[in-house]
Chains A and B, each alone.
Chain A
């Protein structure tokens, strides 16, 4: 026979130990797995991309990366210019201000278009089920970006 209070205390202690042991064991396994994973490796793992398919998709990524980075630099420069104009009271609502704002919006639209074109090219190399899932996930990010802007 055991006292109820002691039993409850013991059970809580055992439950707590079991929870801590399992959580930290799993967390360490996840951290080890993700520590050296690149974004592209994550993509291959998540969408079961292997073998020749992986080589083709990697080539598309490598081909697209310089174009994407150029656009990124152009966008960052325009954003910087617009911020400088915005901070200058003499240039507020000036033609330069309007032009910089228009250019930034144009670059955002082009970025979305480049992104959509690219993900469709990637999806074209994937299996049907995985490509649908990939497009769905990428669309989610685009929707979030639109809401944020």
Chain B
């Protein structure tokens, strides 16, 4: 009794291909070309788009896009940090007002006691 007896269609097909492998006679170069084609076909479409798309950009344009993106990132970073700073300053302003307005001071004490 043979080992690894094929038990489904896939196994049967694989077994058959292995038996026929001696019949395919490709030269080293052809074998290499077909291997490359097989690898390229298996790559995802998004990767194909990234690596082999039709729209090619010259190097200066690529550099300009990268610089613009960095510039936009820096501008947005400063702008968001400014908003954060304004909010932090407003929190301190609220603390200041709570220290000089009796009712707001009382509300602050109550909320602190509730939190603890």
- Excluding A14-B69, A19-B77, A145-B104, 11 further A-B contacts by CB distance (< 8 Å) are A3-B53, A3-B55, A11-B66, A14-B70, A19-B74, A25-B81, A31-B88, A40-B99, A68-B99, A118-B100, A141-B101
A42 to B85, CA, bound (A): 13
Interface digits, A90-119 against B, CB 8 Å rule (1 contact, 0 not)? 000000000000000001101110110011
Q: In this assembly, does A48 line the interface, its C-beta being within 8 Å of a C-beta of chain B?
A: no
In Å, the complex CA distance between A62 and B58 comes to: 68
A10 touches B66 (CB 8 A): yes
> Which of under 10, 10 to 19, 20 to 34, or 35 or more describes the interface residues of B?
35 or more
Q: Which residues of B contact A40 (CB under 8 A)?
A: 96, 99
Bound state CA distance, A8 and B71, in angstroms? Answer: 15
Q: Does B49 contact A (CB under 8 A)?
A: yes
**Considering the chains assembled together, what is the distance between the CA atoms of A108 and B101 in angstroms?**
10
Chain B positions 73 through 112: 1 when the CB is less than 8 Å from some CB of chain A, otherwise 0:
1101110111011001100111111111111111001100
Please give the residue numbers on chain B whose beta carbons come within 8 Å of chain A beta carbons, in ascending order.
49-53, 55-59, 61-62, 65-66, 68-74, 76-78, 80-82, 84-85, 88-89, 92-106, 109-110
In the assembled complex, the Cα of A45 lies from the Cα of B90 at a distance in Å of 13
With CB as the reference atom, state the residue of chain A lying closest to B96. A39
* CB-based contact B62/A2 at 8 Å: yes
A59 proximal to B (CB < 8 A) = no
Name the contact of B106 in the complex, choosing from A1, A4, A16, A72 (C-beta under 8 A): A72
Can you show 16 pairs from A to B with CB atoms below 8 A apart?
A4-B53, A5-B50, A8-B65, A14-B66, A19-B73, A20-B73, A22-B73, A22-B78, A23-B80, A30-B84, A30-B85, A34-B92, A72-B109, A76-B109, A79-B106, A111-B102
| Chain B hits for A43, CB < 8 A | 96
A residues whose Cβ falls under 8 Å from a Cβ of B: 1-12, 14-23, 25-27, 30-31, 34, 37, 39-40, 42-43, 46, 61, 64-65, 68-69, 71-73, 75-76, 79, 107-108, 110-112, 114-115, 118-119, 137-138, 141-142, 145
How many angstroms between the C-alpha atoms of A7 and B59 in the bound complex? 10
Q: Are A42 and B110 in contact (CB under 8 A)?
A: no
